[in-house]
Structure 1
Amino acid sequence: MTAASDLRFFPSADGDLAYRDAGAGDLVVLLHSGFADHRVFDAQIPALATGYRVIAPDVRGHGASANATGPFRWADDLAALLRHLDAGPAVLVGVSMGGAIATDTVLEYPELVRAVVACGAATSEFEYTDPWVRQVQAEQARALGEGDVEGWLEAFLRFVPGEHRSPDDIDPAIGRRLREMALGTLSKHTPDEENRHVPLTGTWARVPKIDVPVLTVNGGLDAPDLIAEAERLARTVPDGRSVTVEGAAHYPNMEKPEVFNEILAAFLRTL
């Protein structure tokens, strides 16, 4: 677990945003998945920090970062942090929601981005169509509406093994870590709280203009429509490629950290 003393804070226009800052060298920014925080990358931060400067923020409303009191966009928050640090251009590495943030940011602020790695993600304009995922999402919505935190967590954690495995098939420590992070984020919010995030629109029309290298990394056991959308991203940009981590679902960086780290290291060496 990250000690509180290891976190730094950026005083944004709408509250303090937390981040880890480790290592030195070319900048790599790690963007975590939804309902979690920067600790999703506990296996990546020390590995990368031996050769790079690693920034791992807590997205607004997550972890130790402030909640929104007004409308906000993910890309604007990240751009403000990078400018505050006088750092970049950066390689943006995101898992799930973080991957969408990475892609949104290169669309909105191309001058701040050197390359993108989107893991289990494409742009933020995505809706699941897979029946199993839609069922799990419906269970989450029901539990949240009823104030059933345990029911919500149970549904949320089903994405760790994915549709075709059970929790017994994965390292139980992964579920425990994600549960702890999700509980921390949930505790910051109320069920009737307004969602102040302003989504980006028209992203796919702009994707062909992304002029930096893009790598998509998919767990082979992740939702089929999400894999397809990430591979679409890799095909649509001028310099894109896609890699599959077999035997992993939505969190390949946590399930197969050595494999994920080597994929990332190999990509970084090409830049």
Structure 2
Amino acid sequence: MDLHFEVNGKGLPVVLIHGSGVDLRQWTFLASLLTKNYQVIVFDGRGAGKSPSPIKHANYVEDVLALMDYLELNQATIIGHSMGGQIATDFALNYPERVSKLVLIAPSLTGFPYSKEFEQYHNKILESAPNIDKMLELALHSPTYQVVIDSPHKDLTVQMLRHHFGRLLKWPAEFCMIWPQPPAMERLEELNTETLFFIGKKDLADNFRVADCFRKVPNIRFIEIEDADHMLPLTHSEVLYQEFTAFMED
């Protein structure tokens, strides 16, 4: 197993998948709460944190499978945030027997048509490369970070983003992500895993449109969190933990 991972606590296994622009440090606060009652597995996705960079492509769904196989986990509760939620959704659709319950925190979604504004925002950041300070300035000037930027977790957010951009600049030009087909957006009716869905009320409009797509999921519960942007695992770990505990005991 070439991915960097950490395992703490005892009990039912819970695998946490971080989003884009961050690494396993995103889970610092939630993971410390979960380890009271669960075996918690956090890891750096390929190209993030202490894990190796991709060579030409990355299949993040298969990476989760490989990690679970390596740890001999037949089944686990999967928690995914942002792109980690996208990975978790695809994983649950393609390997449903490996997922006991699914928790999605403001997930993205394969096959979803993001708005021009969303694409322009990301393109502006990439166009400012290799000036990492400029990339950071543009990235943080977004509703995505409007709450966390004024919180005690601002410094950690900036550290993770800076690290991410530094690694991103070294990725091969031909890099691409490989996702299962057909896209998850076309298959959400097949997602039979019991699912809990979180979103901050100050998140991007696109992410609320993604949330609407998930209403096709047969067994799903939605929770909107006040005074929260996209970075819920950093700013609202206590709320996530309380709702997760109730979800697991249900």
The answer to whether residue 141 in structure 2 is matched with residue 158 in structure 1 is yes
* 1: CA distance, partners of 2:230 / 2:112: 15
**1:266 aligns to what?**
246
What is the identity percentage for the equivalent residue pairs of Structure 1 and Structure 2?
26
Residue 210 of structure 2: which of 217, 226, 229 is its match? 229
Alignment of 1:143-154 (within 5 A): 143-144=128-129, 147-154=130-137
**2:107 aligns to what?**
121
* 2: CA distance, partners of 1:27 / 1:166: 31
Aligned-pair Cα RMSD in Å: 2.1
* 2: CA distance, partners of 1:166 / 1:139: 22
CA contact (8 A) 1:107 1:210 kept: yes
C-alpha displacement at 1:136, in angstroms? 2.6
CA contact (8 A) 1:99 1:119 kept: yes
**2:230 aligns to what?**
250
* 2: CA distance, partners of 1:68 / 1:23: 30
C-alpha displacement at 1:200, in angstroms? 3.2
The answer to whether residue 227 in structure 2 is matched with residue 241 in structure 1 is no
* 1: CA distance, partners of 2:147 / 2:116: 18
Larger displacement relative to structure 2 (149-158 or 27-36): 149-158
Greater relative contact order structure (CA < 8 Å, 6+ sep)? 2
The TM-score, its normalising length taken from structure 1, stands at: 0.84
The answer to whether residue 195 in structure 2 is matched with residue 214 in structure 1 is yes
C-alpha displacement at 1:215, in angstroms? 1.4
**1:7 aligns to what?**
none
CA contact (8 A) 1:72 1:196 kept: yes
The TM-score, its normalising length taken from structure 2, stands at: 0.91
**1:6 aligns to what?**
none
Alignment of 1:61-76 (within 5 A): 61-76=47-62
Provide Cα deviations, 1:16-72, integer angstroms capped at 9, x if missing partner.
101111101111111111021011011111100010000011000100011122433
Residue 185 of structure 1: which of 164, 168, 171 is its match? 164
Give structure 2 stretches of 5+ with no counterpart. Answer: none
**1:137 aligns to what?**
122
CA contact (8 A) 2:147 2:227 kept: no
* 2: CA distance, partners of 1:138 / 1:82: 34
CA contact (8 A) 1:104 1:200 kept: yes
CA contact (8 A) 2:103 2:197 kept: yes
One-letter code of the match for 1:239? N
Give structure 1 stretches of 5+ with no counterpart. Answer: 1-10
C-alpha displacement at 1:167, in angstroms? 7.3
* 1: CA distance, partners of 2:22 / 2:225: 21
Name the count of aligned residue pairs: 248
CA contact (8 A) 2:34 2:40 kept: yes
CA contact (8 A) 1:125 1:200 kept: no
C-alpha displacement at 1:162, in angstroms? 3.9
